[in-house]
Amino acid sequence: MVSAPAAGFTSEIVRYLRQIEEADESGAVDLVFGMLDEGVSAQDVLLRVIGPAQRRVGRLWAVNRWSVAQEHAATAVSERVVAAVARRVSPPPTRGRVVVACVERENHALPTRLLAEVLRLHGWRADFLGASVPAPHLVEWIGQAGPELVALGCTLPVWLPRAHRAVGACRMAGVPVLVGGAAFGADDRIARLLGADAWAPAADIAADLLDTGPLPLAGENGAELPPDGEYACLARRRGELLPRALDLLVASYPPMRDYDPWQMEQITEDLGYVADFLGAALYLGDVSVFTDFVTWTCMVLAARGVPSESVVLGLAVLRGELTDCPRTRAFLAEGMRAAGVAPDAPDHPEPEETSP
């Protein structure tokens, strides 16, 4: 949940990206303050410069042009720049109180922070609770704060089952819920499935929606997700399944026998992500949640010289272990097909916009 397209700010995005690439907080603050002094609105600075630049940071990491350290340093600078803009432009609250938070386990907090700041610019008192807020703690805060609305952000689809629990807990407390973020996709289908009262594809659209009036509880909004025995089975067996799959993968893929401990740790982590995204897809009844993840994983690995065949093999190993889970096996087969046709990573994402 970030912004509409960054039309008209391409050069500013490139300049800002240079600053955060060097972890130059002072330079980045000077740049955005200069824009404010020239009459650019704080909302445009947040959503059409900082937000798009951060999305490009993620893509630069994905194609292996930036390291994890560079990505984290750039994000840390952007978080402080957002705080500086909020201090510089701080209209007094003229409307109600909203609570803004990331769902539990979601650590990509900046997009949700941008929403909180935009709502403040629109006159709301916005309590930003940050990353990974467990549903019981969120409800406790709601009970103390008495907000008119809860806005939940989620970037990775793997955490949508937790988003479902958070939405239900907030609505049980009598507070309507607005959701957004990349995890929810390009329309309101998943939001409605999880029972949210409203969905917005971007922070400015969310603010405009709330400008029209209070968001009511939508009654029995959303379809009840059918109980999925295979989702529960996968969650229950995860602890024993992943070590077994790793052993079989090493036996089936000879190059892994020469991996160092750090590489093996990464493989173990990747298998965990596979299981978790597979579980989220089963929970939602949407195989595209899994196949999209597989395609993205193949792109990231290709940029690091790892062939997609290794992903196909890993999925095949898991499929072979889950003989009593036909739906899960079908999802894994779709994942194997997606990996088999996954494109290689581009060498230069959007070079005209990201290169100095």
The pLDDT tens digits of the residues spanning 215-242 come to 888 766 555 666 678 999 999 999 999 9
Class of the 91-224 domain?
alpha beta
354 or 188, which is more confident: 188
pTM above 0.85, yes or no: yes
pLDDT band at 21 (very low <50, low <70, confident <90, very high): very high
Give pLDDT, residue 223: 54
Q: Is the pLDDT of residue 355 over 50?
A: no
- Would you kindly state where each structural domain of the chain is located, as residue ranges? 10-90, 91-224, 228-341
State yes or no: pLDDT of 6 exceeds 80: no
Confidence of residue 353 (pLDDT cuts 50, 70, 90): very low
Choose the weakest-confidence range: 94-103, 206-215, 327-336: 206-215
Lowest model confidence (mean pLDDT) among 31-45, 147-161, 305-319 = 305-319
Per the CB < 8 A criterion, the answer to whether 187 and 99 are in contact is no
Residues 36-64, mean pLDDT to the nearest whole number: 98
Residue 254 has pLDDT above 90, yes or no: no
The CATH fold of domain 10-90: 1.10.1240
Residue 323 has pLDDT above 90, yes or no: yes
Span 18-40, average pLDDT? 98
Taking a C-beta distance cutoff of 8 angstroms, is the pair 198, 215 a contact? yes
Residue 356 has pLDDT above 50, yes or no: no
If one looks up domain 228-341 in CATH, what number appears?
Answer: 1.10.490.20
Residue 92 pLDDT > 50: yes
Which pLDDT score, from 0 to 100, does residue 222 have? 55
Residue 1 confidence (pLDDT): 60
Q: Is the dihedral of CA 238, 332, 192, 100 positive or negative?
A: positive
State mean pLDDT over 305-321. Answer: 92
Q: Residue 307: its pLDDT value, please?
A: 87
Question: Mean pLDDT over residues 301-317, rounded?
Answer: 91
Mean pLDDT of 197-203: 97
What's the pLDDT band for 351 if we cut at 50, 70, 90? very low
Measure Cα distances from 75 to 34, 70, 115, 163, 268 in Å: 20, 8, 16, 24, 26
Task: Read off the pLDDT of each residue in 257-276 and give the average, rounded to a whole number.
Answer: 91
Q: What is the mean pLDDT of residues 343-348?
A: 58
Per-residue pLDDT at 311 exceeds 50 = yes
243-252 pLDDT, tens per residue? Answer: 999 999 999 8
pLDDT at residue 346 greater than cutoff 70: no
Confidence of residue 56 (pLDDT cuts 50, 70, 90): very high
Task: Give me the chain's average pLDDT, please.
Answer: 92
Which pLDDT value is given to residue 352? Answer: 39
- pLDDT value for 71: 98
What is the pLDDT averaged over residues 157-183? 97
Can you tell me which residue has the tokens 């940071």?
Answer: 57
Of 253, 259, 336, 262, which is closest to residue 294 (Cα–Cα)?
336
Q: What is the mean pLDDT of residues 19-23?
A: 98
- pLDDT confidence of 2, banded at 50, 70, 90? low
Pairwise CA distance, residues 271 & 279, whole Å: 12
Q: How far apart are CA 318 and CA 334, in angstroms?
A: 13
Mean pLDDT on 177-196: 96
